A and B are shown apart, each in its own frame.
Chain A
Amino acid sequence: MATPGKQLGDRLILGSVIVLALLWTAPLIWVFALSFKPNAFLMQHTDVLFSPPFTFKNYRDILGTSAVFQWVVNSCIVALGQTFLTLLLASLAGYGFARTEFPGKRWAFAFVLAGLAVPEQAIVIPLHRMFAEWDLHNTYSALILPKLAAPFGVFLMTQYFKAIPKDIEEAALLDNASRWKIFLRVILPLSIPAQATLGIFTFLSAWNDYLWPLISASKPEMYTLTLGLAATQSNFAQSEGIGYLMSQAVFAGLPIFILYLFFQKYIVMAVAGTTVR
């Protein structure tokens, strides 16, 4: 079907996208390769990538400073905690809004939707004061709690629950099953795809969150990995250690990147699925 001219055009487009992709990955490859070079060598050369000298010293240095492990642990606790609690609150509320009737429901839903318009920056200052009054800064609670108030998850789950056919539920109701039982036994298992979408989103944004941890966690032992990396960048000027900085970027980036490659299909579905309705 395709004419020769069309085929040539296709190849040209694909070719230029491949060139762009190579440009896109060049910084990553450069940083990865140089992270295996001695710092003294990098003082003179940053253009020798794939020939000796090689060293693992930069990575040994990271493992030597125990703070990084604490940061990884903190990030895991915060991201997993936030994900679990968001799924719990959003599923309950989503079910309530989508499938039950109670006085004032419409009003309550509109009230929650209005929160979508509030940017994080508009509330960080009062939030900081509130957590100071409660004496909660530098705790996991402070790092986890504020993001639970975001209405996006409730909105997503409500939309999803609304799309589940009602027959199933009405049959169960006739059997005199309680709404809680129906929610747990019937509706929750059916909503696993939406749970996965919201879970991945919440985990990634918790892991990568920067502004709130920067404001709330002032003790290095309470830093998340994202925040800890920012702290080590502050002495960037002493650039005799750029190999060390590069190995830090790889150390922090590679695990989440590998995780991405594993869950790629679901992440892409999560991103694409939120807008296709």
Chain B
Amino acid sequence: MSTVDPGLRAALSQRRGVSALRAAAGWGHWLFVLPFLAVYIVLLVVPVFRGFWLSLNEIDLLSNESEFVGLTNYLNLWHDEIFRRAILNTLYFVVLSTPAFVALGLALALALNRPGKTGAALRAIFFGSSVLSVTIVTLIWRLVLMPDRGLLANVMRSIGLSPIAPLLSENLALPSVALVTVWWIIGLPMMLFLAALQQVPQEVYEAAAMDNAGRWRTFTAITLPAIKRTVALVTIIEVILQFQIFGQVQLMTNGGPNNASRPIVQFIYEAGFRQWALGYSAAAAQVLFGLMLIGVAVQAWVARRREAN
């Protein structure tokens, strides 16, 4: 209201001091939000509850009958060696990839926060791969990491090493997928950090330059405190994104070798759509949902505590 000119304000206050926008309130305005709400309820809210209900049932696909089994699916998951491995693999993957996204994304943003064509070209290179689909990225990297004839094997031979096949190694499969994932979407954290760096007022840097502060000192004393909200935001976004890892693993290692790289989402997919154990799969999905909520809550708590200090 403060921006309305005096004449208009006078006209508006004639209507018992209520703004024209408020005066026009009514049930009719539900019509604006109703189309989305209908889609949202049918295709998101209902599935959330149906998913939860499914997880308490066992479904026989032939007769399409479901039987209420309580927490049996969850108990079975608890005792399922492969599922426990999948949880550990997912956590391992998040721990491998998230710090890399934050550190490398920030480093690239700091180095490329410069005007001119070189900076623009380099930014375009590091962001460009993000627009490719997961299937293109995995196709390229399966070729690169191919035993004997891949690019990696070529390079290793040319520097006198014997070539390795990382995707066939239990220890290297998941780290390789993490590396490919970083290659794929490092552009997102880089861009978020770049946007944050642009918001830091230039004067503080000039003051630091006057004080002859070194590069590291300027970074820790000025830049980092100024963008700490973005650091927290990027960390949360990456934890959420990387928890959902699926396509890269399914296409590059198919969870192998020996379940060493099978994450939770692949477990859900295989239980649900390969073995058609729908209740079991839905229970696994609820566990993933819960883990992600916990992860985000912990992140938010840590960020708030740090801000309070």
Contacts and interface: CB of A to CB of B under 8 A. Distances in A.
B24 A173 contact: yes
Interface in B31-68: 31-33, 35-37, 39-40, 42-48, 50-51, 54
Contacts of B54: 125-126, 129
Interface stretch (B81-89, B93-101, B142-150): B142-150
B289 interface: yes
B24 to A, nearest CB: 7
A30 B108 contact: no
Chain A CB within 10 Å — which of B27, B131, B188, B192 has the most?
A: B131
Contact of A21 (B30, B36, B122, B265): B122
Contacts of B46: 126, 130
Contact of B139 (A46, A121, A248): A248
B188 A260 contact: no
Chain A CB within 10 Å — which of B22, B26, B143 has the most?
A: B143
Interface string B98-121: 000000000010011000001000
B35 A229 contact: no
B247 A211 contact: yes
A275 B21 contact: no
A28 B126 CA distance: 12
Interface stretch (A50-58, A62-70, A188-196, A261-269): A261-269
Given A112-B37, A149-B44, A122 B51 contact: yes
A165 B51 contact: no
Given A151-B40, A170-B19, A253-B136, A26 B33 contact: no
B99 to A, nearest CB: 18
Contact of A210 (B123, B135, B187): B135
Given A253-B132, A275-B192, 11 more contacts: A9-B215, A14-B118, A21-B122, A92-B35, A93-B33, A97-B33, A112-B37, A117-B296, A149-B42, A170-B19, A226-B134
A228 to B, nearest CB: 8
Interface residues of A, number: 100
A108 B33 contact: yes
Contact of A115 (B8, B45, B191): B45
Contacts of A260: 128, 131
Contact of B191 (A42, A229, A272): A272
Nearest to A90: B36
Interface residues of B, number: 102
B33 A249 contact: no
B293 interface: yes
Interface string B144-179: 101001110010001000000000000000000000
Nearest to A169: B21
A233 B142 contact: yes
A14 to B, nearest CB: 7
Contacts of B33: 92-93, 96-97, 108
20 contacts: A30-B151, A46-B150, A89-B39, A93-B35, A95-B32, A100-B29, A112-B36, A112-B40, A118-B44, A118-B289, A123-B285, A125-B54, A166-B21, A215-B273, A229-B139, A230-B251, A233-B138, A256-B133, A260-B131, A275-B196
Chain B CB within 10 Å — which of A31, A146, A249, A252 has the most?
A: A249
A198 interface: no
Contacts of B191: 268, 271-272
